[in-house]
Chain A
Amino acid sequence: MQIPYEVEARPDTGLYNAKVGIWLFLASEVMLFGGLFSSYVFLRLGADFPWPFHELKVLPGFINTMVLIASSVSVVAAWASLKARRYGWYQVNMIITLLCALGFMGIKSYEYYFKFVHYSLKLSDGSVVAGHPKHVDDTHHGDRIAFQADRITINLKSSNLEFLDGLRSGRENAPYGEPETKELKFKTKVEKPDKSFISSDITLTDSWLKEKSEAYWALKEEESYAVIALETQKPLARQSDSDGVKADKQTKVDAINKQIAAVQKEFADKAAAAGLSETILLESAQPLTFLNKEKGLMKYGASEYSFREGTVLHGKLLADTIQFNVDTIDLRQTVDIEKSLVWKHLGTELKQRFMRYSNERVEEFKKHRPKIAEPEKNVVCQRDSLRVEFGNEKKKFMSEEEADSYLHDEKYMISVPRSEKRFYSNFSPSLSPYYAIYFLMTGLHGLHVIGGAIVLGWFLFTGRKMYLRNPEHLANRVEVGGLFWHFVDLVWIFLFPLYYLM
């Protein structure tokens, strides 16, 4: 079927159909991004925390702006080349556009990656430090919770072996060593209804867990069918009596209840005899060390460590601190910066240096902005004087030699008890509304870049036949794809200053 007005303009609109279509789509896109920009303004004006302006690295965003502008020029030049019937130039320009799209996404991925591996730790007094959790090795547990277990309760209803991902070692005196892949042997203990135990030796594997789980649930299924069959007799027992003879009815219902209890006991005995129970206790001959992120745990304490999927470890908590390499100190939300909890971990030498740095920045601010009556309350002054990012301010904050090595310097490594933590997250959407809307908008924009690049790539690699048949048709397609591409550029022109510069 021939779609009408693909090349020629439709008389009533004066436009070919695809162009009307893309403009309607772009109009809806304006509304979508309009809503998101509105949310950005709302969040920024209503933020109850210092809005992180000038915190993103400007250079990647700046280069990306250049890249998108270049791609906008090349895509419109590709269209013009088709209009001038210069297919070779069209191809060159389209290739430039696609390379720009690739470059843009490459830079964006680089930015995202460094945010995902960078963490922020807010202490209970509001002080914030940012940096990287210490790399896990034989002596460091980083930001993981370390636990030594000698018994494990497996729940056949929900447990899987994912909890073993946190297993580091089964050796003594090497608590945080590299994970070991040796077979895990346990003695299982299943409690019988008479409170005695059935023991057996097993190797913990997926197939063992699957087999036990299936056998247990097959029994449970059988039991529930038998119970349901008895339960359905209850309404009949009630109906069969004449009204008013309540005692008789109750006798029949009680009899059914007794039968149900007998069935349940019978199945419990059967399960125990087969070494099955909803929970199975595994005992290890030697203690196992686990390192897990707090997010993966349901709860933990001095002697218990529960995973969300239902497995519980029994033993002792080894370490519950966050070992962290600091690269930023931010005391804008600290009531008394001299008494900040940060100094408990970083020491008085850095405290004095920070205080000196802070006073110098306030004086500098006063010099440049003499008209501001209370500079300490100004957000720019607060950002400059109460927040120091070593990488950016190293010349002002530390010596050249120190600046080269602070990432590996023990002085900048802190070990914060988790009880002092108010919030801990990488620079991902969960950190703050700022990062949530940053990732939402730039992520959505990135998806548009990918979508646009796929469409333009399709025109480039499959357009030759169409060009030979009707060059104007291809030109129209490229114009429509180009309009979308310009819209993507247009959104970025607003995103760049809003997120990187303001």
Chain B
Amino acid sequence: MDQATEHSHDSQGSHDHPIDLRKTVRTYLKVGATLILFTFITWGVAYFVDLGDEHLNIALGLLIAAFKVTLVCLIFMHLNHERGLIYKTLLFSMIFFAAMMFLFCLAFYSPIEDSFLKP
């Protein structure tokens, strides 16, 4: 945590510690290349890999997307070394997001009966 805090101070922009541009950009390029590679993998999985069930294919595709998003968040958006306030803020929206993603379940547990639809 101490190390994270130290990093965090760096990312806030201390005048005294300019970053090593070459090294940092190299890291970003590597992450970019990984993202591109996984875009190819997502496409390949959708068209050429058959897991026997469409739902499994969708799940795998979303899993790869989630991995890519994690990389963007951690490296590009510096969430691997941020201040606690940001994580707390994001926690609220993640709970909301998760609730939204399960909201449609209500429609399946409480469907509109046919008898209501018939005149």
Contacts and interface: CB of A to CB of B under 8 A. Distances in A.
A binds B: yes
Interface of A: 7-9, 13-16, 19-20, 23-24, 27-28, 30-31, 34-35, 37-38, 41-42, 45-46, 54, 58, 62, 65-66, 69-70, 72-73, 76-77, 80-81, 83-86, 89, 368-369, 371, 379-380, 472, 475-476, 479, 482-483, 486-487, 489-490, 493-494, 496-498, 501-502
Contact of B18 (A35, A84, A479, A486): A84
B41 to A, nearest CB: 11
A486 B97 CA distance: 18
Contacts of A369: 50, 52
Interface in B25-61: 25, 28-29, 31-32, 35-36, 39, 42-43, 46-47, 50, 52, 54, 57-58, 61
Contacts of B65: 493-494, 496-497
A73 B62 contact: no
B92 A27 contact: yes
B83 A66 contact: no
Interface in B101-117: 101, 103-104, 107-108
Interface in B10-25: 11-13, 15, 18-21, 24-25
Nearest to B91: A27
Nearest to A68: B35
A23 B13 contact: no
A72 B100 contact: no
A85 to B, nearest CB: 6
Contact of B101 (A15, A41, A84): A41
A342 B58 CA distance: 33
A50 to B, nearest CB: 13
Contact of A7 (B13, B50, B54): B13
Contacts of B8: 14
Contacts of B18: 83-85
Nearest to A34: B97
A35 B39 CA distance: 25
Interface of B (DSSP majority class) = helix
Interface in B52-98: 52, 54, 57-58, 61-62, 64-65, 68-69, 72-73, 76-77, 83-86, 89-90, 92-94, 96-97
Given A38-B100, A476-B13, A80 B24 contact: yes
Contact of B21 (A8, A30, A89, A494): A89
A80 B28 CA distance: 10
A45 B101 CA distance: 12
B39 A65 contact: yes
| Contact-size category for B | 35 or more
Contact of A380 (B42, B54, B68, B85): B54
Contact of B85 (A20, A80, A476, A494): A20
Contacts of B61: 497, 501-502
Contacts of A494: 62, 65, 69
10 contacts: A15-B86, A69-B36, A76-B76, A83-B21, A84-B21, A85-B18, A472-B15, A496-B65, A497-B64, A501-B43
A19 B107 CA distance: 39
A85 B18 CA distance: 8
Contacts of A493: 35, 65, 68-69, 72
Interface of B: 8-9, 11-13, 15, 18-21, 24-25, 28-29, 31-32, 35-36, 39, 42-43, 46-47, 50, 52, 54, 57-58, 61-62, 64-65, 68-69, 72-73, 76-77, 83-86, 89-90, 92-94, 96-97, 100-101, 103-104, 107-108
Contact of A46 (B35, B46, B85, B107): B107
Contacts of A77: 24-25, 28
B32 A72 contact: yes
A486 B68 CA distance: 12
Across chains A and B, which 4 residue pairs bring their CB atoms closest together, nearest first? A501-B46, A84-B21, A34-B97, A73-B32
Nearest to B5: A14
A373 B92 CA distance: 45
B46 to A, nearest CB: 4
A490 B101 contact: no
A80 B13 contact: no
Contacts of B20: 84
B69 A30 contact: no
A90 B39 CA distance: 27
Contacts of B43: 58, 62, 501
A368 B24 CA distance: 47
Nearest to A472: B13
Contact of A34 (B24, B57, B69, B93): B93
B27 to A, nearest CB: 9
B54 A37 contact: no
Contacts of B25: 77, 80
A28 B101 contact: no
Given A31-B97, A45-B104, A66-B39, A486 B46 contact: no
B71 to A, nearest CB: 9
Contacts of B47: 501
A48 to B, nearest CB: 12
A483 B25 CA distance: 16
A371 B97 CA distance: 37
Nearest to A72: B76
Contacts of B83: 13-15
B93 A30 contact: yes
A495 to B, nearest CB: 9
Contacts of B46: 54, 497, 501-502
Contacts of A379: 54
Instruction: Find the residue from B19, B50, B94 having the highest chain A CB count within 10 A.
Output: B19
Given A34-B93, A80-B25, A486-B72, A62 B39 contact: yes
